Chains A and B, each alone.
Chain A
Amino acid sequence: GNSVTQMEGPVTLSEEAFLTINCTYTATGYPSLFWYVQYPGEGLQLLLKATKADDKGSNKGFEATYRKETTSFHLEKGSVQVSDSAVYFCALNYGGATNKLIFGTGTLLAVQP
């Protein structure tokens, strides 16, 4: 079946440190892949996406590359800020045009000044 596995948190970093949050998936076919972010007290919002193999999604300094050979979609940022503190969810679209998503369990990122 379809599933998403992401690294457990919390991840605690100092400001300006490099961030990697690992995400791997199992899926039939070639799903679109997403990273959603949930800031404290807010709803989930899309951070970035990639729709096919070797695509790189990017937004707000975050990047992730759709790697079919390793079934991965790791999230990276070169220099994190305190304002990046949030829960990050990796997700895949297993419903095609219906946009049904399977989410990972989420990774809490805490950035300290």
Chain B
Amino acid sequence: DTGVSQDPRHKITKRGQNVTFRCDPISEHNRLYWYRQTLGQGPEFLTYFQNEAQLEKSRLLSDRFSAERPKGSFSTLEIQRTEQGDSAMYLCASSQGGTANTGELFFGEGSRLTVL
């Protein structure tokens, strides 16, 4: 399967702990996106990368959140000092840029975070 994969699928942590999620995009996609989805809501944009460059961050992404894509392939999203309000599904998506851009995002199955 060459789709977007995310790990772990589910993380339970205690308030104040740090967590890290990993996303492996579709290999030929140079763009990678992180979204957050809370219960009963649609996904909300957090940040996106083109290759290794983080080009935009939403104001939803507080300074406790950091995302990286060091070699332009996989990406990590780290949340420091987690709070109960961080409980959500974190979605990763990828797409092609440039002339191959169809406007479609390909989503992974998400990483569900529960902060106790």
Alpha-carbon gap, A41 to B109, bound state (A) = 8
Number of A-B contacts (CB under 8 A): 64
Partner of B42 from A32, A42, A49, A105 at Cβ < 8 Å: A105
Report B77 CB to chain A, min CB distance, Å.
16
Chain A residue contacts of B101, Cβ below 8 A: 97, 99
Whether B109 lies near A43 (C-beta < 8 A) is yes
Given contacts A44-B91, A99-B101, A106 and B42 within 8 Å (CB-CB)? yes
Whether B103 lies near A43 (C-beta < 8 A) is no
Interface size on B, residues (CB 8 A): 26
Whether A105 lies near B45 (C-beta < 8 A) is no
Given contacts A43-B4, A43-B109, A51 and B42 within 8 Å (CB-CB)? no
Give A94's nearest chain B residue, CB to CB: B45
Alpha-carbon gap, A46 to B104, bound state (A) = 7
Interface size on A, residues (CB 8 A): 25
Residue A85 is within 8 A (CB to CB) of chain B in the complex: no
Contact code string B70-86 (vs A, CB < 8 Å = 1, else 0): 00000000000000000
Given contacts A32-B103, A89-B42, A98 and B55 within 8 Å (CB-CB)? yes
Whether B45 lies near A100 (C-beta < 8 A) is yes
Whether A100 lies near B48 (C-beta < 8 A) is yes
Whether A104 lies near B42 (C-beta < 8 A) is yes
Alpha-carbon gap, A16 to B25, bound state (A) = 37
A–B Cβ pairs within 8 angstroms, 26 of them: A4-B42, A34-B103, A34-B104, A41-B109, A42-B109, A43-B4, A43-B110, A44-B93, A44-B107, A45-B106, A46-B106, A49-B103, A89-B42, A89-B43, A91-B42, A97-B101, A99-B103, A100-B45, A100-B48, A101-B45, A101-B105, A102-B42, A104-B42, A105-B40, A105-B42, A106-B41
Contacts beyond the supplied A43-B3, A105-B41, A105-B42: 9 A-B pairs with Cβ under 8 Å = A34-B103, A43-B4, A98-B31, A99-B31, A99-B105, A100-B45, A100-B48, A101-B105, A102-B42
Interface residues, chain B, CB within 8 Å of chain A?
Answer: 3-4, 31, 33, 40-45, 48, 55-56, 91, 93, 95, 97, 101, 103-110
Interface residues, chain A, CB within 8 Å of chain B?
Answer: 4, 32, 34, 36, 41-46, 49, 51, 89, 91, 93, 97-106
